[in-house]
A and B are shown apart, each in its own frame.
Chain A
Amino acid sequence: MILYPFLIEILQVLILLAAAPVFVGWVRVLKCWTQGRSSAGIFQPYRDIRKLLSKDVVLAENASWVFRFTPYLVFGTAVIAGGIIPILSVDLPLAATADVIVLAALFAIARFFTALAGMDIGTAFGGMGSSREMTIASLAEPAMLMAIFTMSLASRSTSLSHMAEVILSGQPVLRPSIAFALFAFVLIALAETGRIPVDNPATHLELTMIHEAMILEYSGRHLALIEWASMMKLFLFVVLGIAAFAPWGIAPSGNLFALPAAFLFMSLKLGAAGVALVLIETGLAKMRLFRLTEFLGSAFLLATLGMLSYFILE
């Protein structure tokens, strides 16, 4: 029984690695349907990753070790984050490694190195992507912290497992503060994972790309790792939202038999999140870069309103 939490830990990481491409595949399939195109199937991301892994790396002449190290680091931080966020169960030995603030910092370190890699080759596109990515991140970060602050008020904790436990053990009530925080979190997650209206993951049009501009020079296994990691990042933001706002179904500690049900709940919620994401992405157009201040400013405002409503109403 002592090994049980470690098994869950391993299980979670495996689910993260396996399910992230499927989730992205699901989103792409839905997007094709809503736009009246035929899709390549839910497992296409797997085939992409396999193809990239089997190819040789083509590296620019002046690429330094920073450029070669970055894919591994980005992949590593995503996997670590997967061991910390309660995906299936709150019974994680690694959960105490990091609270939400550390998680945000783990994503930040991946972003820092990706931006450096974008500047390493010395192309105009790479620098442009890095500059824009860091700008967006600096606007998103205060909003993110405010949302965390609001979420932590009810549970008096920033540890994700503990937050989920508090919500699970209480009555499901609609708190206005949490509703505001959720809305803010959705806006921030769209910005952090580079989805429409902030960035378009499907574009390679030179002047609009942000994340793609930074990784333009990657190929082979490096590109595979970066693509995989960005799929995991999207997946992680969705499960982070689930754990913080709607953890119902996540197995409580010590209950082995709740795991299959937890898995089912997780799949259902992810499916629903995919639908919501696609509705947002097809319903909105990509914003101009300098309109993003308003977008992320409203996220900050919503989170602040959440905090105020907690102090006033609750």
Chain B
Amino acid sequence: MPWQIDLASYAVSMLLLPVVLAPVIARNQRLLSAIAFMVASVSSLVMIVAGALTVWSGRTQKIVLLIGLPDLPFHLRLDPLSGFFLTVIGLLALFVSVYSKGYVKGILAKRSITSLTIFYCIFLAGMYMVVLSDDALIFLISWEVMAAASYFLVMFENERIENRRAAFLYMVVAHVGAIAILLSFGVLAGLAAGFGSFSGYTFDAMRAAKFPLEWATAAFLLSFFGFAAKAGVVPLHVWLPEAHPVAPSNVSALMSGVMLKTAIYGIIRVTFDLIKVFPWWWGAIVLILGLISAVMGVLYALMQHDLKRLLAYHSVENIGIILIGVGLAMIFTSFNMPLLAALALIAGIYHTLNHAMFKGLLFMGAGAVLHATHERNMEEMGGLIHMMPWTAALFLVGCVSISALPPFNGFVSEWLTFQAFLLSPSLPSPLLKLLIPMGAALLALTGALAAACFVKAFGVTFLGHWRGHHRPNVHEADWFMRIGMIMAAFTCLLLGIFPTILIGWLDTIPEQLLGTKIATTAGAFGWMWLTPVAYERASYSGPIVFCGILVVVLAAYLILHVRPGAIQRVPIWDCGFEKINQRMQYNATSFSMPIRRIFGFLFHVKEQVRISPQAAHKAFPKKLYYSLRVRDRFWGWLYKPVIELSFWVSRKVGRLQQGRIQAYLIYSFLTIIVLLVFL
């Protein structure tokens, strides 16, 4: 009985309930938000059950829907890979839906949330359907539904020009990507069943087919381009830092946390499942683009002082890290080393899950800050840890996780990626042997820069004194928001402490795609020890690191508090400097100054210092103006020429538009003649 896939389809259809109800109960906004987010939570919970059990059992289930085009019904399929992505989406959707219940309260006072709830549910359903679909048609339909719903969510606060601009940019990039994916499926379907028939549109037909290398390469490059545009891989990332920050924070959490992952799903599905046989340089492309995205993403993030924009750039970085794992897995697969490929693939999909959790948590935290201070600019914040202790502590958990510090989850997947890198000397190609370790160094650079970036993000936002000019009435997040964040933070910790159990659960995915398990080696010494490949090679024990630090910290604390020493609270010492004020603190711009100076050549940095002319003497300026502009070089290189070209073409084409009915009639007449002659 295929009950898991039935469960999954019930969960999707459940999401349509609020969509249908919304216009009816739109007058009672409170009730609408309660119903919509409750239904979303329940459906996510159902989805987690269906997905997790599928991964656990390792079985594949299929159903054919009775709807669709004539003779071309829709196919759905639930296998371990899609089960895993369902679980990831479901988990974050659950946390975010609980959080949203509290978050939209802040919006309710200002505007109607009807469209937010409708598109929120459609967006979730679209993401679920993308990973469930098993033919090119429904895949593309779901892909478009997901893109369109998220477009409307980005447009939610559409009175601001930056939101409209961001949404438009997002729509353009999403569609260019979708066209590439459509073409890629076209190539695959055509080769699977001949270009004359339609029956190749199912993924099953593509799986059964063998593709000649040149066509397979074309299909891979097209689909990779399309998915990379969705995932925000450098240089296709420009839409991401525009669109993610302007969406409502709960939507940003979902977009950054899980929508980008559907693109990762697409890449894995097309390469490992549909095409299956590929040369090593496909993997090298994925690996190199992953490395570039990781390093550039984190460097861009360091230059930001808008909290949500900073987080959005970190999504670019983390997508890069995931692609590093996937790329390594592809290289190992092409050299027929399934065990090593399985390790690298596990590292990649583990990071997929981890990134969903901590990025969701961080965006929820940023949302709570935005909700409380109505401010996204970190330069205007500071000292929030005293006013929002819960949010601060939970945001800190996210910061530690994303900075790849043990015992939290980000560390485990980066460590596994490093282990995959360390195995590259066993590759037969000398070139790869020498070059792949450089990638490991770049990954280390990424991790360290991410830590620097999150010291900045947390330090400037939550620590120190309030930096802004006027002080708003800051309040702590409410319980719905807190519970959403607490669940995500707790998952981050659990995923960091019990990686062995999780890898045992994930193992059906490499088994399905590569035919190997790694749990036999990774968990050979029980749940406490993570030993990929072999015990002598490398090992890590999350529980011992966690408990060890906890025990020593507690012991030191208790021993030192035997003598009741009073803590004296005094004003800041600061080497005896008395006239200190809150404007003298380090802020986001000054914190990243050394890094900006070292890596500044990668950006378009324009720095200006102007001393106020009214100064009595040059040495004692009354005022100092400092302005800094950091711009993306890719914008000038890649996008500006395209934009200018399209404007140029539109202007030329625009000449056709005469505004006279006679001219238009001639156009129609000529068109008909041309059609008659040539067809």
Contacts and interface: CB of A to CB of B under 8 A. Distances in A.
Contacts of B538: 99, 101, 157-159
Contacts of B400: 109, 112
Nearest to B557: A72
A142 B463 contact: no
Interface in A102-129: 102, 105-106, 108-109, 111-112, 115-116, 118-128
A123 B580 contact: yes
B197 interface: no
Majority SS at the chain A contact face: helix
Interface in B538-562: 538-541, 544-545, 548-550, 552-553, 556-557, 560
Majority SS at the chain B contact face: helix
Given A108-B448, A122-B582, A134-B455, A61 B572 contact: yes
Interface string A123-161: 111111011101101111111111001001100111100
A124 B541 contact: no
B572 A60 contact: yes
B385 interface: yes
B458 A116 contact: yes
Name the residue in B403, B438, B441, B593 with the highest tally of chain A Cβ atoms < 10 Å from its Cβ.
Answer: B441
Nearest to B447: A141
Given A99-B539, A152-B422, A145 B444 contact: yes
Contacts of B549: 73, 76-77, 80
A239 interface: no
A23 interface: no
Contacts of B425: 153, 311
Contacts of B445: 138, 141-142
Contacts of B392: 64
Name the residue in A73, A109, A300 with the highest tally of chain B Cβ atoms < 10 Å from its Cβ.
Answer: A109
B404 A80 contact: no
A144 B447 CA distance: 12
A112 B385 contact: no
Q: How large is the interface on B (under 10, 10 to 19, 20 to 34, 35 or more residues)?
A: 35 or more
Contacts of A101: 415, 418, 538
A244 interface: no
Contacts of B405: 105, 108-109, 112
Nearest to B386: A64
A80 B572 contact: no
B590 to A, nearest CB: 7
Interface in B412-467: 415, 418-419, 421-422, 425, 430, 433-434, 437-438, 440-445, 447-449, 451-452, 454-456, 458-460, 463-465
Interface in B557-614: 557, 560, 565-575, 580, 582, 584-586, 590-595, 597-598
A96 B430 contact: no
A97 B418 CA distance: 16
B382 interface: yes
Contacts of B186: none
B350 interface: no
A115 B459 CA distance: 9
A216 to B, nearest CB: 7
A98 B459 contact: no
B529 interface: yes
Contact of A142 (B442, B455, B557, B593): B442
Name the residue in A108, A127, A132 with the highest tally of chain B Cβ atoms < 10 Å from its Cβ.
Answer: A127
B383 interface: yes
B444 A307 contact: no
B537 to A, nearest CB: 5
Contacts of A56: 565-568
Interface stretch (A24-32, A33-41, A217-225, A253-261): A217-225
Contacts of B455: 112, 115-116, 119, 130, 134
A109 B442 CA distance: 20
A66 interface: yes
B650 to A, nearest CB: 45
B437 A149 contact: yes
B412 to A, nearest CB: 10
Nearest to B445: A142
B459 A119 contact: yes
B394 to A, nearest CB: 13
A124 B586 contact: yes
Contacts of A134: 448, 451-452, 455-456
Nearest to A289: B594
B406 interface: yes
Contact of A97 (B396, B451, B548, B598): B548
B358 interface: no
Contact of B463 (A66, A139, A152, A157): A66
B568 A58 contact: yes
A164 interface: no
B536 interface: yes
Contacts of B541: 96-98
A59 B440 contact: no
B634 interface: no
A83 interface: yes
B540 A98 contact: yes
Contacts of A264: none
Contact of B459 (A125, A130, A144, A308): A130
A53 interface: yes
A53 B535 CA distance: 42
B406 A105 contact: yes
Nearest to B549: A76
A124 B586 CA distance: 6
Contact of B565 (A106, A121, A221): A221
Contact of B440 (A62, A135, A149): A149
A47 B179 CA distance: 72
B411 interface: yes
A293 interface: yes
Interface in A212-235: 216-217, 220-221, 225
Contacts of B573: 58, 60, 216-217
Nearest to B580: A123
A79 to B, nearest CB: 5
Contacts of B438: 304
A238 interface: no
Nearest to A216: B575
Contacts of A61: 569-572
A149 B422 contact: yes
Contact of A141 (B385, B448, B459, B464): B448
B586 A72 contact: no
B406 A102 contact: yes
A135 B421 CA distance: 25
A162 interface: yes
A118 to B, nearest CB: 8
Nearest to A152: B422
Interface string A4-46: 0000000000000000000000000000000000000000000
Nearest to B449: A138
A57 interface: yes
Contacts of A138: 445, 448-449, 451-452, 595
Contact of A102 (B386, B545, B566): B545
Contact of B568 (A53, A57, A75): A57
A159 to B, nearest CB: 6
20 contacts: A57-B565, A61-B569, A66-B396, A83-B548, A96-B541, A97-B540, A99-B539, A102-B406, A105-B415, A108-B451, A119-B455, A127-B591, A128-B586, A131-B591, A135-B594, A137-B452, A146-B440, A158-B538, A216-B575, A217-B573
Closest 3 CB pairs of A and B: A127-B586, A122-B464, A119-B459
Given A80-B552, A131-B593, A152-B422, 5 more contacts: A80-B549, A96-B529, A146-B441, A149-B421, A157-B536
